[in-house]
């Protein structure tokens, strides 16, 4: 992943785009949107979109955080907690949460070189997050199933804006982006079928 981001960043994110867009039909089907959605659910969906779109994200910079202050360790720990919640939710990737919080490149690089100082706070955050957030998410999916799915779908739709890396620089890159985008759509379709 580090090599892909370093040398083929735009096509890599087009593959992510394909995965995100491809998972939406599965989410709409799981939520029974055609029959269950009411006006309040569309409001929740739009709130999810707006929350993601308005976040101040510098995804394309590819910057790796070199600072090792207490605040950065706190950010890494918090990222692990939030990402673990995303891993439990259908349709949202923990990696996407890392992108949103601006730590994706830092964590991917830490994994590639086994930087324990980064991996430990993230790992502890993930473990704590899975234990705590799984109960909270289970509660909302049990008692507010449709509303929860509507909000999740909004977050996923908003993430399209976040992940979009811009137009291809040349025809060769454009072709690569189209191919991997279609590959992402197909992968999401297959994964949706398996999940179903």
Q: How far apart are CA 62 and CA 49, in angstroms?
A: 24
pLDDT at 177: 93
Q: Please, which pLDDT band fits residue 83 given cuts at 50, 70 and 90?
A: confident
Residue 99 has pLDDT above 80, yes or no: no
Looking at the chain, the whole-number percentage of residues with pLDDT higher than 70 is 91
The number of CA neighbours under 13 Å toward the Cβ of 164 is 11
Per residue in 155-175, pLDDT tens?
A: 889 888 878 888 888 899 999
Question: For the chain, what are the domain ranges?
Answer: 2-195
Helices (H), 31-144: 33-36, 39-53, 70-88, 94-100, 104-113, 116-143
Residue 120 has pLDDT above 60, yes or no: yes
Q: Cβ–Cβ contacts within 10 Å for residue 124, how many?
A: 14
Give the predicted TM-score (pTM) of the model.
0.76
pLDDT at 58: 53
pLDDT at 32: 86
pLDDT at 101: 76
Per residue in 171-187, pLDDT tens?
A: 999 999 999 999 999 98
Residue 150 has pLDDT above 90, yes or no: yes
Average pLDDT over residues 9-28: 88
């Amino acid at each position: 992943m580090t090599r892909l981001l370093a040398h083929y960043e735009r096509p890599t994110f087009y593959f992510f785009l394909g995965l995100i867009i491809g998972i939406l039909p599965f989410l709409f089907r799981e939520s029974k949107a055609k029959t269950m959605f009411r006006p309040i659910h569309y409001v929740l969906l739009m709130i999810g979109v707006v929350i993601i779109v308005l976040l101040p994200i510098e995804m394309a910079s590819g910057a790796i955080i070199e600072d090792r202050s207490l605040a950065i360790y706190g950010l890494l720990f918090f990222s692990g907690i939030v990402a673990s919640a995303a891993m439990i939710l259908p349709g949202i990737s923990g990696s996407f949460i890392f992108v949103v919080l601006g730590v994706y490149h830092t964590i991917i690089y830490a994994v590639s070189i086994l930087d324990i100082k980064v991996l430990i706070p993230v790992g502890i955050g993930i473990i704590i997050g899975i234990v705590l957030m799984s109960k909270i998410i289970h509660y909302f999916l049990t008692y507010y199933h449709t509303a929860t799915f509507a909000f999740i779908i909004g977050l996923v739709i908003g993430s399209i804006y976040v992940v979009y890396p811009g137009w291809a620089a040349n025809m060769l890159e454009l072709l690569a982006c189209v191919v991997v985008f279609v590959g992402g759509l197909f992968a999401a379709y297959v994964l949706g079928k398996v999940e179903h």
